[in-house]
Amino acid sequence: MWPRQSGGLLRMALLAVVGSVLMALSARTQVPMWPVPMTMQTFAVLVIGMAYGYRLAGATLLLYLAEGAVGLPVFASGGGIAYFAGPTTGYLVGFFVAAVLVGWLGERGWDRSVPLTFVAMFGGTVVIFALGVAWLSIFLNDFQAALANGFSPFIIGGFVKIALAAAVLPLVWKLAIGKRSV
């Protein structure tokens, strides 16, 4: 999806804005928990990564993180630079890394079948939780508490989001573009 000509730059900028809005909306779709709320952000990250490719997905997530850093209320509990010193910092970094990874795999054909899409998105989810739990364990100074509060409650929901995104995305490609096989 990355622009190869100057006319595509505006399109890419608009797609990045749309993706950052999707991220902000998905942050507001949540089940409040402490220290990490359950949101639809992982679903949005995976879909953005697979749909946009690694360059545009990375740019979109950087835009989203920058919006939050300057104080726009795009994160699950608001925004501001102080948010990057809180319990969810690792997840935010993981969103960027996962979007790039999933986008990179998507550009290599992993978006063309449900099983490969599932595996790619599972990998992205592992990245999000690995970085999220690692940071949370530093924040809480307790690895077991980080697992109990930042991973265990999200396992079932994570699989549901992966399965939903993996099942829907190849079908959307087939309907929207017609050249990708399911």
Report the pLDDT value the prediction gives residue 60, as an integer from 0 to 100: 98
Report the pLDDT value the prediction gives residue 181, as an integer from 0 to 100: 44
Tell me if 1 is assigned to some domain.
no
Tell me if 12 is assigned to some domain.
yes
38: which strand partners? Answer: 31
Tell me if 74 is assigned to some domain.
yes
* pLDDT tens-digit readout, 72-94: 999 998 999 999 999 999 999 99
At residue 63, what is the residue type?
A: L
- Tell me the average pLDDT across 90-100: 98
Residue bearing tokens 């639809």: 40
Rounded to two decimals, what is the model's pTM? 0.89
Tell me if 41 is assigned to some domain.
yes
Tell me if 182 is assigned to some domain.
no
Q: Which long-range contacts (CB under 8 A, 24 or more apart) does 164-167 make?
A: 164/43, 165/43, 165/46, 165/47, 165/50, 165/117, 165/121, 166/114, 166/115, 166/117, 166/118, 166/121, 167/114
Report the pLDDT value the prediction gives residue 99, as an integer from 0 to 100: 98
Tell me if 115 is assigned to some domain.
yes
* pLDDT tens-digit readout, 20-63: 999 999 999 988 777 788 899 999 999 999 999 999 999 999 99
pLDDT exceeds 50 at position 71: yes
Tell me if 2 is assigned to some domain.
no
Task: Assign 171 a pLDDT band (cuts: 50, 70, 90).
Answer: confident
Total domain count for the chain?
1
Q: For the chain, what percent of residues have pLDDT higher than 70?
A: 92
- Tell me the average pLDDT across 148-175: 89
Could you tell me if 67 and 20 are in contact, meaning their C-beta atoms sit under 8 angstroms apart? yes
Tell me if 181 is assigned to some domain.
no
Task: Assign 179 a pLDDT band (cuts: 50, 70, 90).
Answer: very low
Cβ count within 10 A of residue 166: 23
What's the chain's Rg over C-alpha atoms?
Answer: 16
> What's the whole-number average pLDDT of the chain?
91
In total, the chain counts a number of residues equal to: 182
Beta strands in the chain (DSSP E): 30-31, 38-39
CATH code where residue 68 lies: 1.10.1760.20
CA–CA separation, 70 and 162 (whole Å): 30
Domain containing 50: what range? 7-176
- Tell me the average pLDDT across 113-137: 96
Report the pLDDT value the prediction gives residue 33, as an integer from 0 to 100: 75
Our measurement of the distance from residue 180's CA atom to the centroid of its chain's CA atoms, rounded to an integer in Å, reads 23
